[in-house]
A and B are shown apart, each in its own frame.
Chain A
Amino acid sequence: MSMEEAFALAEAEAKLKAALNECQARFDKAKMPDRRNEDWRFGRPHVYAKQLVDTITARDNHNYFERMVICDKGNAATRLTRDDDDLLQTEMLMQTIGSDALLKRHIERFEDGYSLYIEEDTTEVIELVYETRSFCSPSTFIMVAPGVKAEVHIIYSCLEIGNIFAACNIQVAAGAELKVRVQAESDGSDGRCMIITNIQNMGGKVMHLTEYRGLRWAREETVAELYSPGSETKLFSANRLVGDSVLDQHTRQIHHVGGASSDLLYKNVVDDNATAIFAGNIYVAPGAHNTDAYQSNRNMLLSEKATVHSLPGLEILADKVRCSHGSASAPMDDEQLFYLCSRGISRRDAQLLVADGFLADVLNKFHGESQSS
């Protein structure tokens, strides 16, 4: 390495470090949304997304698509950088995520990310890993072509005091099938993570699973939009919360048209002083008849001090709609624990077995019953 190169590298590193510190400071100072802050509900993802769909349809040959690397058997992905693609920022990110306020914050911090345009069936799971020890704010854009089957695994890894503020945009074309598994984790005691996701289903099948592990604070906003009859979107989440961690999940299932189905199953095992918050909403637009939309949030409490706030909601403006929403929170069943213990299994192990079993139901539904945990 020449002197100049070394100097340039050191300077770049110093700049990066300063930027990260500044980001971190801003992030720390910023008021985090809490469970009383329901502003996100009044974001306008459906309005923006409709425009977006029209835009995409109208610009089928736009160079935006040409610039994307076509994902070949799950190996290649385009890396986005902040000033890489104004179009992407303005049209893909800014206008489609559920919460205007949160999105703005994300854009402020947006650094890089991946965009995947999946044109062929992928035999392997496409894995995207975002890892940070300080702060990162990545964006992921996934688009699946008509009739294509794919599976994507996104891992957000908050090491030490790492914070991640992520956005993810998913578009699934007619006849396509996409499975997305999102895993946010922390190895330290202070990892925090916020993920905003928008899933636009144009007549395909989508399964989306979120899992949070070891984070002190996590917030999820997931908006699933169904644009064509026959669209099928399933949202899952399975988590075990310990210590005094907080998991704050907000979801919205938006049926723009009739004849589509959406299903949500979010389950948490809440231990110690942990808190689980769930606010879900199903919106069925006027005229979206023959909609199937379900939503279920279930929590198992392992400690007296564990807290659950669950707020499922429905907003139905159409007829012939099959909708249900429910939430249930209960301590672990004593009779089940006794039964397991009566076979010689310690109380702690029995609790873990039952807790894993409670969550396995979700994982089995996502992975397919055959592949049990």
Chain B
Amino acid sequence: MSLVIKNLYARVKDGATILNGVSLEIPKGEVHAIMGPNGSGKSTLSKVLCGHPDYEVISGTAELDGQDLFAMSVDERSRAGLFLAFQYPVEVPGVSNANFMRAALQARLPKGEELDAVSFYKTMRSTMAQLGMDTKFTARAVNEGFSGGEKKRNDVLQMMMLEPTYAILDETDSGLDVDALRIVSDGVNAMRAPFRSFMIITHYKRLLDYIRPDVVHVLYKGKIVRTAGYELVEQIEENGFDFLKTEA
């Protein structure tokens, strides 16, 4: 059981090709980190996996536990267990956080079954407490007027409530204060399980010191150019991505 990406080429609709043959396998239970210089295609990869309408797959495959990801609609992918905490979470005016989460959880229930409102609010409140979020955020419109760090926390809140089996975190650490970084990392670590895996996109070693990855990949110009263990993180922290230029 794993997330398997094979030879993935994708481009901006009617535009430039961004992913140039990405191949990657994340088995269940593992945490993989993806690093790479700005503009190398990390966010594009995560959005293509979720089915963002700005991009189109040129060729290649992606399978989630054997299911063809690209044959599924955006919402089906989520219900199949995929989750993306966005680098830039979107503001949705008028839709309250609570209504949003209720709809997302309701969508996971069999037809005709109603979400239990009382236990829903209880879970939402306790998860928010765990993330140090004020309860007033339940009534506020999704991400609207949230600070950068609040938006990131809100995406992590969604992850914790939806309990995906494959979670992608795109630079969730950027914008978080020191305490929030620790709280969010604790949350992720608490979710680590043999039936769940994480793809953690980050520029910083600090996050990966909290959430120790099993495997580290470097994405460069739309391709995975190096795969190694945690020592790669330390190497990048010290010397940056200079090695890419000599290799390329």
Contact = CB atoms under 8 A, between A and B. Distances in A.
A338 B78 CA distance: 11
Interface string A342-366: 1111110110011011111100000
Given A340-B104, A358-B94, A361-B93, 18 more contacts: A336-B90, A338-B53, A339-B90, A339-B142, A340-B95, A340-B103, A341-B78, A342-B51, A343-B100, A344-B75, A345-B104, A350-B75, A353-B99, A353-B100, A354-B92, A356-B95, A359-B94, A361-B94
B6 to A, nearest CB: 23
A372 B96 contact: yes
B139 A372 contact: yes
Contacts of B53: 334, 338
Report the interface size class on chain B: 20 to 34
B174 to A, nearest CB: 19
Main secondary structure of the interface of A (DSSP, over half): helix
A342 B107 contact: no
A335 interface: yes
Contacts of B126: none
Contacts of A353: 92, 95, 99-100, 103
A350 B90 CA distance: 14
Interface in B59-106: 73-75, 77-79, 84, 86, 89-96, 99-100, 103-104
18 contacts: A338-B90, A339-B86, A339-B90, A341-B74, A342-B74, A342-B78, A343-B100, A344-B79, A344-B107, A345-B75, A345-B107, A347-B74, A350-B75, A354-B94, A356-B94, A357-B93, A357-B141, A358-B94
User: Interface of chain B, helix or strand or loop or mixed?
Assistant: mixed
B225 interface: no
A341 B95 contact: no
A343 B84 CA distance: 9
B75 A346 contact: yes
B47 to A, nearest CB: 9
Contacts of B86: 339
Report which residue of B50, B89, B92, B158 has the largest number of chain A beta carbons within 10 angstroms of its beta carbon.
B92
A31 to B, nearest CB: 39
Given A338-B52, A338-B53, A372-B139, A344 B96 contact: no
A358 B162 CA distance: 25
A343 B104 contact: yes
B226 interface: no
B86 to A, nearest CB: 7
Contacts of B52: 338
Interface string B184-213: 000000000000000000000000000000
A354 B92 CA distance: 7
A359 B93 CA distance: 10
A357 B51 CA distance: 24
Given A357-B92, A360-B94, A340 B100 contact: yes
A323 B86 CA distance: 40
A345 to B, nearest CB: 5
A340 B92 contact: yes
Contacts of B103: 340, 345, 349-350, 353
A180 B162 CA distance: 42
A341 B73 contact: yes
B78 A344 contact: yes
Contacts of B95: 340, 353-354, 356-357
Given A343-B158, A344-B79, A338 B141 contact: no
Given A360-B94, A372-B139, A338 B74 contact: yes
Contacts of B93: 357-358, 361
B146 to A, nearest CB: 13
B94 A343 contact: no
B50 A342 contact: yes
A362 to B, nearest CB: 10
A57 to B, nearest CB: 44
Q: Which of A338, A343, A354, A372 has the most CB of B within 10 A?
A: A343
